[in-house]
Chain A
Amino acid sequence: MIEKALSGDKRYWSWVGFLAFAIGVGTLAWFRQYELGLTITGLSRDVTWGFYIAQFTFMVGVAASAVMLVLPYYLHDNKSFGKITILGEFVAVGSCIVCMLFIFVDMGMPFRTPNVFIYASPNSVMFWDTVVLFGYLVLNVIIGWTVLGAERKQLPPPKWVKPLIILSIPWAISIHTVTAFLYSGLAARPFWMTAVLAPRFLASAFSAGPALIIILCLILRKVASFDVSKEALQKLAVIMTYAMCINVFLVLMEVFTAVYSSMPEHMAHFEYLFLGLDGKNALAPFMWVSSILAVVTLILLLNPKTRRNESILAFACVALFVSLWIDKGMAMIVTGYIPNVMGVVHEYMPTLPELLITVGVYSIGALIVTILYKVALTVKKNVA
């Protein structure tokens, strides 16, 4: 089937070429980082996890969100999702690989990462996170490829794949739960140490993920004349809206607990995020943009009239995605370190090489999804 990715029009090839270029630039930046060390990033003794780990966290969510298509289609027999479920599974494949690459580029000793398996340590959440992420990648590759292969031969998918599909549903929940446990189990970082972190991660994932799928569907409709039904998009939009409501609710729970209890070590981080602390407020403008976008999207999405208008829906999806990306992809991780364990504020900003490497990793993910989508859409077209 993969050969279907080798024939495309000029637009397809220029997009692939663009991604290849971005991957090349990112790879060169990574070679430099490998040579000189992580000193070329904005990370420091005080803020030791930054942009890479934040992108990893965000993309685990995007990977998990495939379940928002799989679950309605396979468990509730929601026919309208039949056509787009494969898109969710292939996004999950790309996202899992992106997650692994972000971990790889963040390691001080990247080529020692097999030690995680050689010296497997079940007491470490990181060990389990690696296991569930690998498992989820394998599940989605097998499921996506098998179901698509069957569709190409115009046969129903083989029976053995159904149990795997059912398994992939709780597995998706597990990857983001375990990722939240990486952070929420640390007494040293009060900002992360909240029982609501895993549910919050899931809620933001189940709204950012569908937003991305809707955007991708709308793009594919334009550039690849992919015929996605309005009904499917609307159903997905409703899922995304409810998930976003739950996410905003959970964020407000966090703010209430911190502010009403007035415990300094919990409040300081929120203060830094929204107002700034000790005159340092690099993240505050972003957080306000994120909050305003969240409110605007909720207004647009909760109102059926605006939600049903696909141009407004497209705008709302982009705004929602940006809002959640700022929250999770920029603020969530570094704020755990600001202020530091001694109450001192040392800020963090990613550097240019760090951003180039990030763009490179994302481009690898985009290339994988592009190729998989090309195959999927060609198969679907030939069958129809």
Chain B
Amino acid sequence: MAVDRRKFLRLTGLAALGVAAKPIGILAQEDIPAEISGKLPQENPLTAKRWAMVVDLEKCRDHENIKDCAAACHRVHNVPEFDNPKDEIKWMWEEDFRHAFHEQEIEHLPEKFEYTKVPLLCNHCDNPPCVRVCPTGSTWKRESDGIVMMDWHRCIGCRYCIAACPYGSRSFNWRDPRPFIKETTPEFPTRMRGVVEKCTFCEERLAQGQIPACVEAAKNDAIAFGDLEDPNSKVRELLRERYSIRRKPGLGTHPEVYYLL
């Protein structure tokens, strides 16, 4: 491989930038003037004290339903599609019941769950281990509403957060993702190789007064989204009425994605 003078200069320039430049938090929307972010300031953002998601597994037996949710998520967030599973990036995806709830060591599963696909995503834990281990504060829990955020401009790509996440919810850009994005959504940033990414509960849509893309795409209200602190919210109502489980609750992470059986 030849490294010409220009490339060398670019590399050393990058090194200098890495030291000198103060990375800009792309997700801190309020820092970005409207003309740059391409979005008008919203008057009616959706807010909550503690965002949570409730997935009704009864309604996930229709595979297409979950596939559509994941596809909607990946479309609006410019998630690339690679041929090689090794490079895979997933914000939301479907998994067999046995794998999704692997810690349950299930031996006899009701037939209906044998064919159920469980939608998986970041659990936006109340006590997130990924945030605890991050050496640069590139991922943090937003105190106002509990969303576990990501700053792709600060992330050094050490992948400590991936080691710490018990849910496999985080993906790393092993290669440049841009050529593998089917159709780029201009409203959302694309990422570059070398950083970690994951679901952010559509915080950019919430800021615009829209519900998360997967919730919007789900048929039959398969996914509910709301404020866990509000006793009258849809999510609290569902959790009052139905029995719910969470993934690996024994680890003390307090996941905020609930699954109704």
Contact = CB atoms under 8 A, between A and B. Distances in A.
Interface in B148-199: 154-160, 162-168, 171-176, 193-196
B230 interface: no
A123 interface: yes
Contacts of A167: none
B18 A114 contact: yes
Residue in B22, B84, B156, B171 with the greatest tally of chain A CB atoms within 10 Å: B156
Nearest to A35: B1
Interface in A103-121: 103, 106-116, 118-119, 121
B255 to A, nearest CB: 12
Contacts, number: 161
Given A35-B1, A36-B175, A186-B133, A115 B154 contact: yes
Given A107-B194, A187-B252, A37 B160 contact: no
Contacts of B159: 48-49, 108
Contacts of B87: 39, 44-45
Interface in A87-115: 103, 106-115
B220 to A, nearest CB: 26
Contacts of B88: 44-45
Contact of A107 (B105, B158, B162): B158
B79 to A, nearest CB: 13
Contact of B173 (A108, A114, A121, A343): A108
A248 interface: no
A48 B162 contact: yes
B86 A34 contact: no
A34 B86 CA distance: 18
A112 B90 CA distance: 24
Interface residues of A, number: 52
Given A108-B172, A109-B195, A341-B102, A124 B132 contact: yes
Contacts of A185: 133
Given A39-B86, A115-B154, A342-B95, A188 B160 contact: no
A124 B134 contact: yes
Contacts of B160: 124, 126, 182
A318 B134 CA distance: 38
B62 interface: no
Interface in A31-59: 31-32, 34-39, 43-46, 48-49
A108 B177 CA distance: 13
A116 B95 contact: no
B175 A108 contact: no
A106 B23 CA distance: 21
B23 A115 contact: yes
Contacts of A112: 18, 23, 136, 154-157
Nearest to A183: B163
A310 interface: no
Contacts of B32: none
B163 A108 contact: no
Contacts of A344: 99
Contact of A109 (B157, B163, B166, B171): B157
Contact of A32 (B1, B100, B137, B174): B1
Contacts of B166: 187-188, 341
B14 interface: yes
B157 A336 contact: no
A108 B132 contact: no
Size category, B interface: 35 or more
B11 interface: yes
Interface string B80-113: 0000111111100001000110110100000000
Contacts of B172: 38, 45, 48, 108
B41 interface: no
Contacts of B133: 123-126, 185-186
A28 interface: yes
A264 interface: yes
Residue in B95, B193, B251 with the greatest tally of chain A CB atoms within 10 Å: B193
A130 interface: yes
B135 A39 contact: no
A121 B134 contact: yes
A239 to B, nearest CB: 33
A37 B1 contact: no
Nearest to A45: B88
B19 interface: yes
A340 interface: yes
Given A107-B194, A115-B23, A121 B155 contact: no
Given A188-B129, A189-B163, A336-B163, A37 B85 contact: no
Residue in A39, A109, A115 with the greatest tally of chain B CB atoms within 10 Å: A109
Nearest to B22: A118
A48 B164 CA distance: 11
A373 interface: no
A341 B105 CA distance: 13
Contact of B164 (A45, A110, A186, A337): A186
A22 B134 CA distance: 34
Contacts of A31: 1, 3
Interface of B: 1, 3, 11, 14-15, 17-19, 22-23, 84-90, 95, 99-100, 102-103, 105, 129, 132-138, 154-160, 162-168, 171-176, 193-196, 251-253
Given A45-B168, A111-B17, A112-B136, 15 more contacts: A28-B3, A38-B174, A48-B162, A48-B163, A103-B158, A109-B194, A112-B155, A115-B136, A115-B154, A119-B138, A123-B132, A123-B133, A126-B135, A126-B158, A342-B99
13 contacts: A37-B176, A39-B86, A107-B194, A112-B23, A113-B156, A115-B23, A115-B136, A125-B133, A127-B135, A186-B129, A187-B252, A187-B253, A341-B102
Closest 8 CB pairs of A and B: A108-B157, A108-B194, A111-B18, A188-B166, A37-B193, A39-B175, A39-B174, A126-B135
